[in-house]
Amino acid sequence: MNVIFLTIGRMHNIQQSGIYTDLLRKFREEGHTVYAVSANEKRNGGKTEIIDANGVHILRVKTGNITKCGLIEKGISTLKIEGQFIRAIKKYLKDVKFDLIMYSTPPITFAKVVKFIKKRDHAKSYLLLKDIFPQNAVDIGVLKTGGLKGFIYKFFRKKEKDLYAFSDKIGCMSQANCDYVLKQNPEIDASKVEICPNSVKVQDLRLKKSDALAMREKYGIPVDKKVFVYGGNLGKPQGIPFLIECLRSQEKNQKAFFLIVGSGTEFVLLEKYFEEAKPQNMKLMKSLPKADYDKMVAACDVGMIFLDHRFTIPNFPSRLLAYMQAGVPVLACTDPNTDVGKVIEQGSFGWWCESNDVSAFDKCVNLVTGLSEEEYQAMQDNALAYLKENYSVDIAYQVITSGVKE
C-alpha cells in the first residue's frame, strides 16, 4: 500500500521517537511504501525538496512561518498551506498513486489537499484527530463566536466540518474525544469515529539509580528530594497562571523540588515569578538537549501535566506517553472534560486534580512525598504496563489498517 502522511510538523529525522515518526516507521516495517509531506518554514530557509530518509520519502514544502510567530503571520501561513501542498504533490508526486491518506490536526486546513488526492487516486482517508480547533481557541479566549473574531471562528468551523466530511475514518485519542466530536457534529456518521490513541514504540527508558543521580548532579537538581518535572510547551492551553499558583503554594516544601523545562508564549510569566519569588526548591529552564531532556525526565520522580480549566474540549496530551516510557508516575491538573485524569487513576500510575484547585494539588504532592519505595516502584511498573497494553504503536496500526479495509 502507498501511504501518504500530511503534517505541518518539521519532519527531518524519521528515526527519532514520536507519535508520528513511530507510526510511519511501523507502516514502513509492515512493507508499505511511506511518503510524508511536511512544512519547511520560512525561518528555516525553507525550500521545496524531496528526500529519502531511512526508507521514508519526505516531501518538504516551502511555507510561511507557522510556529513560534505572531497570530496574524501564523493565520496567513496556515491558510496558504492547502495550495502549497497541492502544488508540491502535483509536481513531485504526480506519478505516485496513493491508497491511504493520513493527516493530523492541527491544522484543520488540509481538506482541499485530502479531497484532491482522494479524487485523483481514489484513496482512503484517515484523520488522526489530535486537536479540536477552533473550539479550543474559543475556550481560552483567543477566538470568540461573535463579533469580528466570530467571522474568523465561523470560517475555521466550516473548514473543520469539511475536514470531517472528507475523512473516511476519524481516529480520536480517547472515548471522551469520540463523544465530544459526535455531540458537536451530529451530521457525522458515528460508524466512522473510533478510538485511535496516541501511540509510540514501547521502550523502557528508566534509568539506573547511578545514572539518575548523575543527571541530577549535572543540572543542580537535589538528589534527596522528590522531583516533580514539567516539560514541554508553556502556552495558554497549559494554564500557566494556575501552575504559578501551585508553585507559590509549595515554596516552603522541604521534601519536594519542582523543575520546569520548556518554552512558549507564557514562559515570560514563569520567568517573572522566578525573578521575584526566587524559590529555593524550584528551577526554571528554557531548554535542554533532546538526549539530556529524555534522561532528565527519567531522573525525576513525577511528571506533571497542566491544562487550562476553561477547556470544554477533551484534550489528551501526548506528553503523557513520554512520562510513561520513562517509568515516571504522573500528576495531571486539568479541566474536568478530558478523561486523561481518569485514565491515569484507573491505570494506578498517578494522580489527578482539577486545574482550579490549589489545595487539591497540594494534597497530591503530599501523597507523592509520603509514598514508600515499594509503592513508588509499583506505580512505575504500572505506567510501563499500561503504556504497553494501551498505547503501543502496534495498536494504532491495527486500528488504522482495519478501518481502511472496512
pLDDT (mean) for 83-87: 92
Residue 56 has pLDDT above 80, yes or no: yes
Residue 118 has pLDDT above 90, yes or no: yes
Residues 6+ apart with CB under 8 A from 140: 236, 237, 308, 310, 311
| DSSP state at residue 282 | E
First and final C-alpha spacing in the chain: 15
For the chain, the average pLDDT equals: 92
**Which of the residue ranges 92-106, 119-133, 142-156 would you say has the lowest mean pLDDT?**
142-156
Enumerate the H helices of 250-356 as residue ranges.
267-277, 290-299, 319-325, 340-346
Residue 14 has pLDDT above 70, yes or no: yes
Residue 198 has pLDDT above 90, yes or no: yes
- Beta-bridged to residue 256, according to DSSP, are 226
Percent of the chain with pLDDT over 90: 74
User: Quick count: other Cβ atoms within 10 Å of Cβ 54?
Assistant: 12
Q: Which residue ranges form the domains of the chain, and what is each CATH number? A: 2-200+392-405 (3.40.50.2000), 209-390 (3.40.50.2000)
E strand intervals along 81-142: 100-105, 124-129
| Dist CA 168 CA 126 (whole Å) | 6
Pairing of strands 350-354, 282-285: unpaired
Specify whether the CB–CB gap between 129 and 177 falls below 8 A: yes
